[in-house]
Amino acid sequence: MDFDLTEDQKEIKRVARELLAARSPFAAVRAAAEAATYDAALWAELRELGWAGIAVGEEYGGQGLGAVALAVLLEEHGYACASTPLVSSAVVAAVIDAEGTAEQRAQWLPGLVSGELSAALGTRGIAADAPGADVALIVDGSDAWLIGAAEAEPFVAIDLTRRFGAVHGEGEPLGPLAAARVRGAVSAELVGVAQRALDMTVEYVKERKQFGVPVGSFQAVSHRCAQMLLGTESARSMAYHAAWAADASTETLDEAAALAAAAACDAGVEVSASAIQAHGGIGFTWEADVHWLYKRAQADAALIGGGKLQRSGLAELVRRRAARSAVP
Amino acid sequence: MDLTFNEAELAFRDELRAWFAANEPGPEPEAEDAHYAWRRDFQRRLADGGWAAVQWPREYGGRGATLTQSAIFFEELGRSGAPLPANVLGILLAGPTIMTWGTPEQKDRYLAPILTGEEIWCQGFSEPDAGSDLASLKTRAVQDGDEWVITGQKVWTSGAQYSKWCMLVARTDSDAPKHKGLTFFLMDMEQPGVQVVPLRQITGEPEFNELFIDGARVPAENVLGGVGNGWKVALTTLMNERAGLGFFLQVRLRQLLDTLIDAAAQRGLLEDQVVAEKLGELHLRTEILRLTAYRGLTAVEKYGVPGPEGSLVKWLWSESNQQLTQLATDLLGSETLHTDSPWAYELLRARGNTIEGGTTEILKNILAERVLGLPKAR
């Protein structure tokens, strides 16, 4: 039993944290969002570093580092709330590698890894990076479809840091664990979003004074922060567990991903909402950057089916548990 | 990252399962004294099998088990339906505290009878006016020749009526700052100056006691860790409070959830989506507990330093148990409120979970101040 990142994975996390802190501070995130474009220079750099192919086999030009390394990168991408199509590209590539046919892998992976091809990820109703995507991975409950040259209907969603659209068209099915892999991976980005919301809040309530003292010395505020910590760490346990299962325990991946998605959707949304509250009036302004995290959390949750689907997933697990225990 | 047990851990678990299969504890008696005797008997069998305190070093009769193996022990104990050892406070708290702070003579004298259950231990820390603010305790110890004379009152002392020894923290210097004037004593309970009065809790049963101490005498050689050093010694005890036991409680929570899911299924309630989703939320919480506790174990095993996981797990466990027992009452109807329903007991007992062993409010303070670095709460 070793529930910890390896030294290599920690190094990937540290490098990603530092790189994104330097290249993608909130000023850059806001500039990209307000211009309704991606941060092209950042995305070029991330592609150059091989992030899109982190969990894709080396025969397709990827790094073959597995789902835990992917989770760690996505966590840091969420932490920075970076304005890039990394989640779509890296997750679609990883899932095609694990759950696609040989033809699908050969068709899509080299281009997705190099960045010559672009991918969309989400549900039919809301897929990130759908407009103009070469290939879309659409999840619908436990099913997942790969749609080439999908017809997308663009719309502007509250998360202005990314491009969204509704997706039409017929697709090819992917392997049985494709939807679980998507849910698990997106959960990791939500963990990062929650962690950033918590860190920003802690920093703020230490500085902000009312009644002559830092507001973080009031239990009404500090206990809110403790609750945010509980949500974040709970989601992290489950997201890492799902990532580990994606690599090493596929027989439990379906349940692990359902649990991770439920924990991470809750944590992402609740912790970032709590951050807005703890920031007080300033938290409701455009200038305070916590709203980008709240919007990212809402959109990420929607990409994997939203809160209702996650709760139905938990209900299904309970029914399975009852069926198991009914077997003599 | 490897979330499976390694070969040594699996071998340990299999050996333990085989032992539990061959050593069923027998039916659980209802009456209090008989129940305690049942637990004491089972501890003796554990000790004979070498399982009473797996985490203790071999030189003291343990197995030198790793933290993970110790967690496996408590999970398997929970799974087996066996009771917690009668001397659980001796094994988990007194033993490790004596190993850390005791003289060679003290270790020789006290450790072996803890394992066998021959000498039961209780914990004399909390007082009526010193709960979360433990260091403000008022029980006094005054030196008289080679002895200390103790006077004061303790509360929430579970098992005091069966105990030979008490881990007692008393004030030996009332002029010193509150954390500095304390001393940790090993007090013999079998003396006229110690009176044990059962404390009836909201379940109706007296699981705990009040301890009235009036001129009890403790020889100087029964000071543990030095005069005036009691706060540090007590912290060692408190650090051990949740080690291992948490895994037992989690397994029991999962078993209780299984019972509730089965009861709901028999009534056809799982077809109701709202019900299934509420149970699903509890299923998620039990899995968060299990995995977060394992993360905490890894942190201690690899870095020697506990992370925030212990406090998070205790908080989440206690609230989940309350949520579960309330849901049972909601779903299964009014018979759960009959005093002879096990659910009635569980419902009431769960109210203590967010208070005992550190209130949720104190846990939140600890997390806010020590983990998040927020200013001291007011």
pLDDT digits (tens, 9 = 90+) for B194-243: 999 999 999 998 889 999 999 999 999 999 999 999 999 999 998 876 66
Please list the active-site residues of B.
241
Question: Which residues, numbered 149 to 168 in chain B, qualify as contacts with chain A under a Cβ-Cβ cut-off of 8 Å?
Answer: none
pTM recorded for the entire structure: 0.95
d(CA A29, CA A293): 11
Within 8 A of A230 by CB-CB distance, chain B residues are: 312, 315-316, 367
Put simply, whether B276 touches A (Cβ < 8 Å) is yes
Cβ contact (<8 Å) for B283 and A314? yes
Structure tokens given for A48: 């150059």
The answer to whether B169 and B182 are in contact (CB under 8 A) is: yes
Cβ contact (<8 Å) for A4 and B298? yes
Within 8 A of B308 by CB-CB distance, chain A residues are: 229, 233
Tens digits of pLDDT across chain A (328 residues) = 899 999 999 999 999 999 999 999 999 999 999 999 999 999 999 999 999 999 999 999 999 999 999 999 999 999 999 999 999 999 999 999 999 999 999 999 999 999 999 999 999 999 999 999 999 999 999 999 999 988 999 999 999 999 999 999 889 999 999 999 999 999 999 999 999 999 999 999 999 999 999 999 999 999 999 999 999 999 999 999 999 999 999 999 999 999 999 999 999 999 999 999 999 999 999 999 999 999 999 999 999 999 999 999 999 999 999 988 765 4
Cβ contact (<8 Å) for B302 and A2? yes
Put simply, whether A204 touches B (Cβ < 8 Å) is no
ipTM of this complex prediction, to 2 decimal places: 0.97
| Residue in chain A lying closest to B274 (CA) | A315
Q: How many CB atoms lie within 10 A of CB B31?
A: 9
Put simply, whether A325 touches B (Cβ < 8 Å) is yes
| Residue in chain A lying closest to B313 (CA) | A230
Cβ contact (<8 Å) for A234 and B288? yes
Q: Which of A5, A241, A322 sits opposite B291 (nearest CB)?
A: A241
Cβ contact (<8 Å) for A325 and B262? yes
Give chain A's length: 328
Put simply, whether B281 touches A (Cβ < 8 Å) is yes
Quickly list H helices, A82-177.
86-99, 102-114
Q: Residue A35 region, left (φ>0) first, then alpha (ψ -120 to 50), else beta?
A: alpha
Within 8 A of A233 by CB-CB distance, chain B residues are: 292, 308-309, 312
Q: Of residues B289 and B32, which shows the higher confidence score?
A: B289
Structure tokens given for A167: 């997706």
Chains A, B: CB contacts within 8 A come to 166
pLDDT category, B272, cuts 50, 70, 90?
Answer: very high
Cβ contact (<8 Å) for A2 and B374? no
d(CA B78, CA B264): 23
Within 8 A of B5 by CB-CB distance, chain A residues are: 1
- Counting other chains too, the contacts that A211-215 makes at CB distance below 8 Å and 24 or more residues apart are A213/B375, A213/B378, A214/B374, A214/B375, A215/A280
Residue with tokens 């997201």: A239
Measure A87 CA to nearest chain B CA, in Å.
Answer: 23
Measure B120 CA to nearest chain A CA, in Å.
Answer: 34
Structure tokens given for A149: 């040259």
Q: Of residues B357 and A318, which shows the higher confidence score?
A: A318
Put simply, whether A312 touches B (Cβ < 8 Å) is yes
Q: How many CB atoms lie within 10 A of CB B132?
A: 12
What would the pLDDT profile of B306-356 be if each residue is shown by its tens digit? Answer: 778 889 999 999 999 999 999 999 999 999 999 999 999 999 999 999 999
